[in-house]
Structure 1
Amino acid sequence: MSSLVKLVVALLPVSWGCSYVEIAYPDSGKTSYLIPRTMELWDLFNTTKYSIDAVPRGGGNKLGWLAPMNIFHFPPTYQPLKCPFEGMNEAGLTVSALYLAQSVYEQPEPGKRAIPVLELVPAILANCSTVDEAVKMLEAVNVVTERNPHFPDAVLKTATLHWAIADPSGRSIIVEYIQGQRMIHENTLRVMTNDPDIKWHWRNLNTRIHLSPSFPYQNEFMQVKADDEVGVVPRAMGHGYNLVGLPGDTTSPSRFIRLFYLRGYSMEAMPIKSFDDAVVLGTGLLNNVWIPFGPAAKDPRAGPSDGAEFTDYGVLKAPKEKVYLIRAYRNTQWRKVDLKRLDFSKGYTWPLEDGSLGIVDITDAGKITTPKQSEL
């Protein structure tokens, strides 16, 4: 590997800012879940591209699967590398990989298959139909950082991830590797972002216990009229004061808190009654953690390998319906792939960005409500 490639990939963060949340909705007397998720990265030397690929079953794949592909170009010696950090298979199993810098993976063991970090998402999607099967597979293999002909060594060394895995039954887990040990947690809170580890995020929710879903009347007992111009104080001067203290920055702890509390307050105020309701709320939650290009400052000490991070794409995925919705940074119109209608004996590809903004011109669709002046 050239010194330039070593420098580039050694400093490459896979993704600092991904967000993941699940929304429960009623489904034929049971509970199903919609999973909104964002993917954040920066455009490595203006060469990182994306596609949406359906990978067929066969050739070692028990199941076909669909995924947005990050396509990396590492000049000058490596061919373009396609890496899925997200996807759903034809059984409805979903996997989301998010950055976790503190990850330390397992060591290879005799008699056990070793799976490099960046190959875990496709390995699970191609071979597992349920969370239980994914757990059994993880118990039977070692997830490792090791040499692989398809990836530069330094990419594997810096590919530090943890994973959210869910299936149509509603079971959802988080898989982390801390100090070389596999940790599997039932994702009872159904929220996930990045560093620190998931238990830290759970405890950190307690630091925002002062937030409230209710209008702030609690200080009225000490109200005093200041004068005719100012009126009675203290009082709320508009809406939103119940959310004072809700963090608005793009850090992982802040995004975790926002997703948890905003989802909870929204569902309390307007209970989810259908899949469509879940899509509306999921879109709103993703909008709240969507990162435009520029505000998230790059690290100047990282040199040319770091850039301004932004939200490359967002997804809404429904394991029970086997429906996958995706939108890009420029074209934010949801586009749907129905996995039930795909023939997974074949492969397919779609562009993530289609060159448009997804804007629909409704000028000519307006209904006339008043007659022309000449008809009066």
Structure 2
Amino acid sequence: MCTAMTLQSQSNEIFFGRTMDFSHDIIPQLYIVPSSYTWYNTINNHLITDTYRFIGLGQELDGILGFFDGVNEKGFAAAVLYFAGYAQYNTGSNNAEQIASIDFLHYILGNCASVKELPSLLNDITIAGVPDPVTHTIAPLHWIATDRSGACVVIEPTAKGLELIDNPIGVMANSPDFNWHMTNLRNYTEATPTQKEEVFWDNIQLAPFGQAAGTTSLPGGFTSPERFVRTSYLKTHLPMPQDRQEAIAACFHILESVSIPKGAVITSRDTYDYTKYTAFINTDTCEYFYKTYDDIDIKTASLWQEALPQI
């Protein structure tokens, strides 16, 4: 379970971030991948050479380095989220280059400069499901991407094929598919930041309990649809931040509403599903801002920071 979003400031900087909600043990680290880095496609051991330098949060396990989110030197940023019950791989042309599902985020961060370039890049590949070293299963995945223009898209491998879907609201969660989530927002048209007035039922006066009566229809749980609705409501009603400092504060406040405390959700494997980390990226400066469950102080890192691990 994860939630992702974009946010624009008045200075036209685009911020992109996510919560990493997971029930398996992960120890993410920040990595810098240089341009012209050569790596092996997990599905077939074909060599792939990155075009762009990028910084990303990921984990290396059993010789496989997988990324969860990141941004490259062109300001193209992306993240991977779970898509249980909907993801279907190997639905493209047999002649297309196969990219392992666990490699796809690395592939686009290393080779895509903008959202506009994604259609041509996706035409040349198909995504193949490969077991990851954390869950030892073929994880059902989908992806969200944005860039410095503010354009935002969702990439979903389904029975229809590899779909590239415009994301005008700049929010993504998990299952169902993105178009379902957008339709579901119509169930919450009564939600408003303004105050409800008193009403009368026959001659009975009913007055709201103070402030925030306009938000009573918003869902409060941690399911994917509920998190999508809350994040969409908050980011679309928030005053546009004046600068990057206000934007970062706003980003973290919004995702606090969907962050999962340990113990609130327990899986069928009797493990806690909770927010391991929350991270935001400034696509203009290629800076990371992140905090973990056990350390709520916001830390920063940059694509141009030499002290980080470089592969």
Tell me which interval the TM-score lies in, with the shorter structure as reference length: 0.7 to 0.9
| 1:56 has 2:34 as partner | yes
Separation of aligned partners in 1, 2:197 and 2:30: 50
Contact 1:55 1:348 in 2 (8 A): no
Contact 1:40 1:309 in 2 (8 A): yes
**Hey, which of these two has a bigger chunk of strand by percent?**
2
The one-character-per-residue Cα deviations of 1:32-72 (angstroms, maximum 9, x if unpaired) are 3212311111234xxx3221111222232221211111345
Distance (Å, rounded) in 2 between the aligned partners of 1:39 and 1:153: 14
Pick closer, same or farther for the CA change 1:36–1:154 going to 2, 3 Å.
closer
Which residue of the partner structure matches residue 57 of structure 2?
A: 68
Paired residue secondary structure (2:231): helix
Please list, as runs of the form range in 1=range in 2, the aligned pairs for 1:281-360 lying within 5 A after superposition.
Answer: 281-299=250-268, 303=269, 307-339=271-303, 341-342=304-305, 348-349=308-309
Take 1:333 and 1:216, find their aligned partners in 2: how far apart are those partners? 37
Deviates more, 1:48-57 or 1:191-200: 48-57
TM-score w.r.t. length of structure 1: 0.73
Query: 1:176–1:182: 8 Å Cα contact kept in structure 2?
Result: yes
Q: Distance in 2 between matches of 1:217 and 1:286?
A: 29
Cα offset, 1:221, TM superposition: 9.3
Q: Partner of 1:161 in structure 2?
A: 141
What residue is the counterpart of 2:210 in the other structure?
238
Amino acid at match of 1:348: L
Report the Cα offset of residue 211 of structure 1: 1.3
In 2, Cα distance between the equivalents of 1:80 and 1:158?
Answer: 17
Match for residue 21 of structure 1? 5
- Cα deviation for residue 222 of structure 1 reads 6.9
* Of 248-257 and 272-281, the range deviating more from structure 2: 272-281
More helix by share: 1
**Partner AA of 1:51 in structure 2:** Q
Distance 1:262 1:153 in 2: 33
| 1:329-356 Cα deviation digits (max 9, x unpaired) | 11111111222x335xxx8339xxxxxx
Partner SS state of residue 264, structure 2: coil
Matches within 5 A, 1:117-266: 117-145=101-129, 151=132, 155=136, 158-217=138-197, 219=199, 233-266=205-238
Shift of 1:179: 0.4
Aligned to 1:103: 87
CA distance in 2, matches of 1:170, 1:197: 22
List 4+ stretches of structure 1 deviating above 6 A.
220-223
**Matched-pair contact (CA < 8 Å) for 2:277–2:291:** yes
Q: Aligned letter for 1:66?
A: I
Matched with 1:39 is 20
SS of 1:143 mapped into structure 2: strand
The separation in 1 between residues aligned to 2:142 and 2:125, in whole angstroms, is: 16
- For 2:5 and 2:244, the matched residues in 1 are separated by 15
Q: CA RMSD in A?
A: 2.4
User: 2: CA distance between counterparts of 1:132 and 1:120?
Assistant: 17
The residue type equivalent to 2:276 in the other structure is D
Q: Rg: which structure is higher?
A: 1
> How far apart, in 2, do the equivalents of 1:221 and 1:146 lie?
59
Asked whether the equivalents of residues 92 and 162 of structure 2 are also in contact (C-alpha less than 8 Å), the reply is: no
1:115 paired with 2:115, answer no
Residue-by-residue CA offset, 1:184-215 (whole Å, 9 max, x unaligned):
11110111100000010001001111212211
Whole-Å Cα distance in 1 between the matches of residues 284 and 27 of structure 2? 30
The normalised TM-score by structure 2 is 0.88
Matched residue type, 1:117? S
Quote the Cα distance in structure 1 between the aligned partners of 2:242 and 2:96.
46
> What amino acid is aligned across from residue 40 of structure 1 in structure 2?
D
SS in 2 for 1:264: helix
CA distance, structure 2, for counterparts of residue 286 and residue 152 of structure 1:
28
What letter matches 2:217 in structure 1? G
